[in-house]
Chain A
C-alpha cells in the first residue's frame, strides 16, 4: 500500500514527502542539510539545542526541524536571514558556556560544536564568557571515562543513551537554570555509581565532555623501554572499525594493514584476541554442556540455567548491579581479553623463554569497559596484572597518526605466532550473535559429530540487529556419550544493548522464557558498536561494520573454534583439557554483587 504524499516547499522549491516525516528528514531527503547537535539517529528526539530551527511561513516563531512534523502546504525556509541570525546566536551562546580551549581537547578535530562554529565562522566572542562564573571539576575517577562538565553543551545525548540504549541511567540531569548539568546519582563520581563503563555516552557525545581515559603515553613508554617485551592483542571488532578513523569508509576490512601498523609502532609481538575467542568457545561450550548434563542427567538443582555469556565487561558490571541474584548463571569464563592476558604471562612467557615481569601486555579493544575489566582485582591470575594497558580503537588510530604511518599505503601482514592463529568463529565475536553462533558451531559438532545444519555454517537466526533474537536447534542422533541430549531443543537468546539485556533478564526472572543459553553484549550491535569504536556511530554504520565482520568470517579457511590448530596445541602442551585445573586457575573467574545505585 502506498501512502499519499504531502506537498511542501523547502526554500521555495516544491517537494513531496511522506506524511508525518520531520522537517529535518524531509530536508535531508531533498538535499538540504540542517545542522543539529542534540539530535542523534540512535536516540529519541529531544529538541533542546535549538540549532536546527527553521522558519515556517506564517509563523512568528521558528520551529525545531528535528521535532516538527511536516504538514500539507508547509513552506519551510532553512536558510532565511532570521534563521541564520538565530542559529548563529545559539552557536555563540553554546560557545560562551563552553570551555572552547580546543587545542587542549581530546576531541579536537572531531567535535560537532567545533565543526558548527567553523561552518558559521564564529570569529569573535561577543557574549561574555560564562566559565568563570561556574565551578566545574573534571571527574577522572572512573578507569574508563573522563567527564568534563566545562565542555558539556547539555544536549542530553549521553543521558538519553544511558537510559534508552542501555537502561542504566547512570547519567542524569541535575539542577535547573544556570546550574543545570549532567550528573550522576547524588552527584557521586563516575566510579561510584551504576555506570557499566560501556562508553556509549562517549560515542554519542558531540563534544569532549565525555571521553575515554587514554593510556597512549604509557604504551609509548613501554615500547620505548628496551628491557620490556611488549605484546599486543587486537579484538575482532577493531580491524573492521579502525579504518574509519584513518580515511576508510565504514565497513572496510583492514586486518592486514592493522597488523602492519602495529608492527611499525614497535610492538614486539602482534597477536590476536580472536585466538582466545576460540579458546573461550571451547571452555564456555564445554561449560554449557557440563551444565546441561548436570541438569538433565544428574538432576542437580544447584545448576543454574540459562547460562549467560561473560565476554562483555559492560554486561558483567550491569548484571552485578541489577541482577546480582543471577551471577551464578554467568559463565565463569573470563573474557577473551583476560584469557589472553593470563596466558601471555604464563604459557607465552614460558614458550618464548621470557620473564613474565618483563612482559607488558597491551590490548586494543573496541571497548572502554575493558579498561575497567583489566583493572579488576580478580584479573591477576598469572601472578601479575594480566593485561597492563587497554587502548580503544580510537587510541590506536591516534598512535598510528602520531607515528606518521600512512595507513592507506601499508602492506598487509599476518599476525605473529604464538597465539596469533584464529578462525572465523573467533572473528564473529565482534558482532551481536557472534559468540552464540561460534558456540553453536562447536557445541553442535561436539555433541553430534556433524556440522550445524545451516548453509555455509551461517546461523542466520542469531544474526541481525533486532534487539532480542531467539533461536533453537534440535539435537538429533547425538554421539553415544551425549545420548541424554537426544531430541532436546537447545533454546538460545541473543541481546545487544543493555536495555535489551533487561528485557531478556526480566523474562528469565518472571519465568516466561526457558532458555538454555543467552548471549548478551552491552553495546548496540555488539562489540562492533562498542564504546571505544570510531565516532560517529549510527544504525547504518553498525550495519556496515557487521557486514565486514561476517565477510571476514566467510573468508577464513578455518571457521570453527575447535579446529584452531594453535588452540589444539595449547591444550596439548599446557592446559591439558577444557575446564581442567590450569584452566580453572587462569581462564575462569568469579563475580561480585554490587549496589543498585
Chain B
C-alpha cells in the first residue's frame, strides 16, 4: 500500500526570508487591479476553514465607493485542534503584516487590526514591535496606514467574522445577519476585508513568487499549500505545511500510530472520517471531481482504537453547548438537545431510534442556524453518529 504514498511537504510559510521590505516595495509599485488579478489567478481560498476565494474578497472590497475601509487579520484561532496561526504570528509576523499593507493598498484602507485571541496575549509585545517597524516603513514612503492589535475576550464565536466586528465595536459578540457581507458592511458598517492569519501569509508567497508558483501546487479547486495542525494519537504532533488534495489515507500513513481508527478533519466543527473511508477522502475544498473532499481550517485530530467515539462527540457537544452565543434558537437549544440526547440514549432512557430524530435535528440546525457555528455542528454529529452508531448506544 505504501506505493501510493503521495504526501507532498512544502516549505513556504515558515521559510524565513527577511526580505519583506523588498517584497512590499514590489507590491506597492503594482497597481491594485494587477494585484487582485494575481490573487484571483492563484485561486487562493480562505484558510480559516470557510474557503472563500481571497482575490474575490479583496476585489469586492476594492470596488466599494466608501472613503473608510478596514483590513482585519483574524487571529482568534479558536477551533479545537488548530494552533498554526500562533506559530505564524510568532515566527513570521512580517509576512502577515506585509499582506495587510498590501491589502490596504489594494482596497484603500487606512486602518488595520489584528484581532488576537485572548489566550495569545504573550504574542502581543513582539507583534507590536513588528507593527512599529511597519508603521515606520509606511510613514517613510508616505503611505497612511495604522495597525492596531485588538485583544479578544475568549469567546469561540468571536472568530466568526461578523461576531468579531461586534466584539470590536464593544458589543456582545453575536453574529450578524448576512447579507450584507463584510466586504460591503463590516467593522463599523464600513467595507472590510477580514482574512485568516494563514491566508494573509500565503499572499506573501503569491506576491513574491507569482501566482503560478502557488497555483501549480495542490489539485484542481484546491490550489496551493496549507498548514495542518496535527494532534491526537500520533507519534509526531505538530504543524506541517502540505500540498492540498492529498488523500486521507496518505496522511494517516505519515502521521498515524498504526492503529488509527478515525480522523477528525477540521476540528469540532469538521467531519470525522472512519478508517474505512480514508482512501476515498481527499483533503481540500469542495468541488473536487471524485470522491469526498473535506475542507479544513487545518485541524487534524487522529484517534486510535483506544478512543471512545461517544466520548469524542460528548466532548464536542459540550464545547458547542457552551460556545454557542445563544442568540439563535436552532444553535442554542439544538446543542443542548444533542448533548442531553446522546446521554439519554447511552443511559437507555431514550431508544436508539432517538438518534435518528437527533440527526434530523442537526439537519434543521444546518439549514436554519444564523451562522457557521450552528450550521456546522451537524458535521461532527452526523459523521460520528452515522459511522459509530453502536458506540453511541452501547
Contact = CB atoms under 8 A, between A and B. Distances in A.
Contact of A178 (B157, B336, B364): B336
Contacts of B320: 177
Contacts of B369: 50
B149 interface: no
Interface string B324-353: 111111101111110011001000001000
Contact of B370 (A47, A60, A127): A47
Contacts of B350: 128
Given A50-B369, A89-B330, A94-B329, A176 B337 contact: no
Contacts of A49: 328-329
Contacts of A130: 333, 336-337, 340
B368 A176 contact: no
B18 interface: no
Nearest to B157: A176
B375 interface: yes
Contact of A50 (B155, B326, B329): B329
Contacts of A156: 327
B22 interface: no
Q: Which of B321, B366, B367 has most chain A Cβ within 10 Å? A: B367
A86 B364 contact: yes
B160 interface: no
A128 B344 contact: yes
Given A96-B333, A133-B340, A180 B327 contact: yes
Interface in B206-221: none
B144 to A, nearest CB: 32
Contacts of B364: 85-86, 89-90
Contacts of B290: none
A126 B330 CA distance: 15
Given A49-B329, A89-B361, A90-B329, A97 B336 contact: yes
Contact of A180 (B177, B179, B325, B340): B325
A96 B333 CA distance: 8
B340 A176 contact: no
Given A67-B177, A93-B334, A128-B340, A50 B328 contact: yes
Given A86-B368, A130-B340, A47 B177 contact: yes
B337 A127 contact: yes
Contacts of A64: 177, 370
A61 interface: yes
Contacts of B174: 173
A493 B199 CA distance: 55
Given A50-B330, A64-B370, A90-B368, A177 B323 contact: yes
A32 interface: no
A47 to B, nearest CB: 4
Nearest to B367: A62
Contacts of B335: 177-178
B370 A48 contact: yes
A69 B322 contact: no
A82 interface: yes
B179 A154 contact: no
Interface in B117-156: 155
B172 interface: yes
Contacts of A93: 329-330, 333-334, 337, 361
Contacts of B323: 176-177
A45 interface: yes
B254 to A, nearest CB: 34
B91 interface: no
A352 interface: no
A175 interface: yes
A53 interface: yes
A89 B357 CA distance: 10
A94 B366 contact: no
B155 A176 contact: yes
A384 B104 CA distance: 71
A177 B331 CA distance: 8
Contacts of B344: 128
A127 B323 CA distance: 21
Contacts of B360: 85, 89
A176 B325 contact: yes
A96 B338 CA distance: 12
A178 B368 contact: no
A50 B340 contact: no
A561 to B, nearest CB: 46
A97 to B, nearest CB: 5
Nearest to A127: B337
A177 B322 contact: yes
Nearest to A128: B340
A136 B40 CA distance: 53
Interface in B173-190: 174, 177, 179
A154 B326 contact: yes
B99 to A, nearest CB: 31
Interface in A47-75: 47-51, 53, 60-62, 64, 67-69
Contacts of B341: 127-128
Contact of A173 (B172, B357, B368): B172
A96 B337 CA distance: 9
Contacts of A179: 322, 326
Contacts of A61: 366-368, 375
Interface string B362-383: 0010111110000100000000
A16 to B, nearest CB: 21
A566 B27 CA distance: 86
Nearest to B336: A178
A493 to B, nearest CB: 30
A175 B326 contact: yes
B366 A177 contact: no
Nearest to B322: A177
Given A53-B367, A173-B172, A48 B322 contact: no
Contacts of A60: 367
A46 B329 CA distance: 12
A86 B367 contact: yes
A518 to B, nearest CB: 31
Interface string B30-73: 00000000000000000000000000000000000000000000
Contacts of B336: 97, 130, 133, 178
A126 B177 contact: no
Nearest to B334: A93
A128 to B, nearest CB: 5
Interface in A171-186: 173, 175-180
B322 A90 contact: no
Contacts of A51: 329
Nearest to B361: A89
Given A93-B334, A177-B322, A53 B329 contact: no
Contacts of B367: 53, 60-62, 82, 86
A177 B329 contact: no
Given A48-B370, A61-B375, A85-B364, A128 B337 contact: yes
B172 A154 contact: no
Q: Which of A68, A93, A94 has most chain B Cβ within 10 Å? A: A93
B368 A180 contact: no
13 contacts: A50-B329, A61-B375, A97-B332, A127-B341, A128-B350, A130-B340, A133-B340, A154-B332, A177-B320, A177-B324, A177-B325, A177-B335, A179-B326
Interface of A: 45-51, 53, 60-62, 64, 67-69, 82, 85-86, 89-90, 93-94, 96-97, 126-128, 130, 133, 153-154, 156, 173, 175-180
Given A128-B337, A178-B324, 20 more contacts: A47-B370, A50-B330, A62-B368, A64-B177, A93-B329, A93-B334, A127-B361, A128-B341, A128-B344, A130-B333, A130-B337, A156-B327, A173-B172, A173-B174, A176-B323, A177-B321, A177-B325, A178-B322, A178-B332, A180-B327
Interface of B: 155, 157, 172, 174, 177, 179, 320-330, 332-337, 340-341, 344, 350, 357, 360-361, 364, 366-370, 375
Nearest 8 A/B pairs, CB to CB? A180-B326, A67-B177, A93-B333, A89-B364, A48-B327, A47-B177, A177-B322, A177-B324
